[in-house]
Structure formats: C-alpha cells, structure tokens
Amino acid sequence: MDFPIRIIALLITLLINNTSFALERVPGTKISIDPPEGFIPSTRFSGYSHEETASSIMINELPAPFAEITKGFTKQALSRQGMSLLKMNEAMIGPHRALLYLVKQKVAAGTFLKWILVFGDDKNTEMVIALFPERAPTEWSELLKETLLASHWHQDLTTNIFEGLPYRIQEQGDLKIAKKISTSLLITRNGVLSNKPNSEPKVIIGPSFKADWQEPEDKLTYTINRLKQMTNLCRSPDITSKNSVSYDSLDGHQIEASCKHVSTGEQLYLLHAMIYSEQGYYLFSGIVNDLEKDAYRPVFEKIFRSFKRL
C-alpha cells in the first residue's frame, strides 16, 4: 500500500510555505507541541493520531531520573523489546539535554519507525514519541522529527491528576492517588511514594490501546499470561482463584494469586483484573503483603468497581 498521495501533496505545501502551528499543551502532560495538520487529539493515549497514515505522536511522563531511563536505550535493551536502533543524536529542549532515537519495530500491522525524544532532570523524564509506517516518505519522517524537537517542557507546571485520562476512579479507605504515569494511575497508602521495594498496599490502573489490537479469543488465558509478565515484582505466581468481572459494562476476568517479592522475599497477595474492549484493555492490579490481604482485598475491589469511562 502506497503512502496517501494527499499527504504527499500536503508535505510539499508545508515545505514551500514553511507553515508553522501554535504550540498546544497535550492534556494531562507538561509538554506542548505543534501537531502537524491532520493530527487530532487521541482518546486512547496522551497525544495525537493521524488515522489516514497510521501515525501518532505520544507523550510518556515517567517519575524517574533522565540518566536512569536513558540507560535502557541500548541496542541490546531495545532488541529485547523487538526494536532495532537505527540512529541516535543529541539535542536540546530549552536548557535541557535531550537524546533523539530512531528505531524500527515490526508488529502485526506492518513495519513501523519511531522517533523517540527523551529529556528530563534528576527526578522526571519526558518521552515524546512519533510513530509512523516505514513506507512513509522521508519528508514525513523529517516533519515528525522536527515536531518533536520543537517540544516545550513546562517543567514546573502542576496539572490536574485526571486531566487527559479517558476514565475515572474513586479513592477508597487510606489508598490515595499518588502519581499519574502516562495514562496510568498509581494509588498507595496515604498517597505516599517510595523508591524502595516494599509490600506496602498499592493499586495500578491503566489502559493499553494499540492500533493493531486484536481481541484474544481466550481472554482468561491472556489475563493470566499478563499477570505472569510482572516479573519485576514476582515470578511464578500461585493462582488461587479466577472469576469473571464486569466494570462499566466491559467484561473481563479477575485473578487472585500469591508470590514472593523478587527483591525482599516477602509473601505478596495480588488481585489482578483485566477488562476488554475493541480498542484494547484496562488493567487493574492490587498488591499488598499477604498479612494484610484480608484488610485490603475489599478496598482493592471497591476501587476496581468504581472505574468509569468518560
């Protein structure tokens, strides 16, 4: 399939006229960008999409130091994620040092390229990602790259925790929203964050929407396999129960399991649920020390059931 002729004509017009666009802050983030013509705000992630060309611009904000995050952008690390590193350049976003990567990835929908712009400070990292088909003309790639490099970081901006999220949940008991990471929420005891591995009660809720998403025929097995991928928390979880659930008219499965924390060896209780839609799924994970499971299991369930889409 050739790249749309109309888009190629648009590129020529932009190059001739040197058209510029006003900066727009991406809702729920501290990043403003100039979305090229035809890109519209996404309802699936923080950023913009261009359906005709299967292209997108996405913002990820991570509560981790820039130096730590960029350690993972090696050829070996990216290869383990199914990506090939094509090039890397240094750049500046305002006064902040940035790294710009070009990677290639094959997925079910075809082969795609990604420009990944990474910058931040000693506490937070910003990632601005442009995804587009490999078959796109060079000018399309350059337009997206320049869009990323024109990003502006509102470093000291405070945003509403729910801004830009396509869903809402309600806090329960002493579990309070501590942090938003991209379109996911981290909920902890009294909203306190800790950098140390621990078994303090916490809930993680977030969507996963992909352009090439295909609903699995066996959603229960998919849910269990997704639980087993949480290898940074524990390995070989012992599943103790499986139930069907429905939150906000989306059906899925809920799994109870126990395992030992990979770092501390503490026995953990996990309440893991996934609900499915045509665009992807929502994941819910409640985690606590096994000694407190009776106190927090009903709290986890109340938070899960409070889920509402916008």
In a domain, 159, yes or no: no
149 and 175 in a single domain? The answer is: no
- C-beta separation of 189 from 200 below 8 A: yes
At 12 the pLDDT is 45
Same domain membership, residue 235 and residue 132: no
By residue count, the chain amounts to 310
| Last residue in a domain, options 96, 124, 153 | 153
Is 162 inside any structural domain?
no
Residue finishing a domain among 130, 153, 176: 153
The pLDDT of residue 114 is above 80: yes
For residue 16, pLDDT beyond 70: no
Question: Are 20 and 124 part of one and the same domain?
Answer: yes
At residue 52, φ and ψ (nearest 5 deg) are -60, -30
Give the chain's domain count. Answer: 2
Q: Among candidates 71, 46, 141, which has minimal Cα distance to 103? A: 141
**Does residue 240 fall inside a structural domain?**
yes
Position 292 in a domain: yes
- The answer to whether position 288 is within a domain reads yes
Element holding 285 (H helix, E strand): strand 280-289
Angle at 304 between CA 299 and CA 308, to 5 degrees: 135
Determine the pLDDT at residue 1. Answer: 45
- Is position 259 within any domain? yes
Given a cut of 60, whether residue 196 has pLDDT beyond it is yes
pTM metric for this prediction: 0.74
Q: Which residues contact 170 (CB under 8 A, 6 or more apart)?
A: 302, 303, 306
Q: Which of 88, 122, 153 is the last residue of a domain?
A: 153
Residue-wise pLDDT for 221-262, tens only, equals: 999 999 998 888 888 899 999 999 999 999 999 999 999 998
- What CATH number is associated with residue 122? 3.40.1000.10
Could you tell me if residue 124 is inside a domain?
yes
Does residue 142 share a domain with residue 20? yes
Indicate if the pLDDT at residue 6 is higher than 70.
no
Which range (3-12, 102-111, 199-208, 272-281) has the least confidence?
3-12
**What does the pLDDT average to over 263-281?**
93
Q: Which domain holds residue 78?
A: 5-153
Residue 132 falls within a domain, yes or no?
Answer: yes
- Are both 123 and 173 inside the same structural domain? no
Q: Are residues 42 and 176 in the same domain?
A: no
Same-domain status, 274 and 241 = yes
Residues 233 and 271 in one domain: yes
Is the same domain home to 62 and 194? Answer: no
188 and 269 inside one domain: yes
Which DSSP string do the residues of 43-100 spell out, in sequence order?
SSSSEEEEGGGTEEEEEEEESS-HHHHHTT-SHHHHHHTTEEEEEEEEEEETTEEEEE
Q: Are residues 232 and 124 in the same domain?
A: no
Are 60 and 104 contained in the same domain?
A: yes
The secondary structure element, H or E, covering residue 3 is: none
Mean pLDDT of 209-220: 83
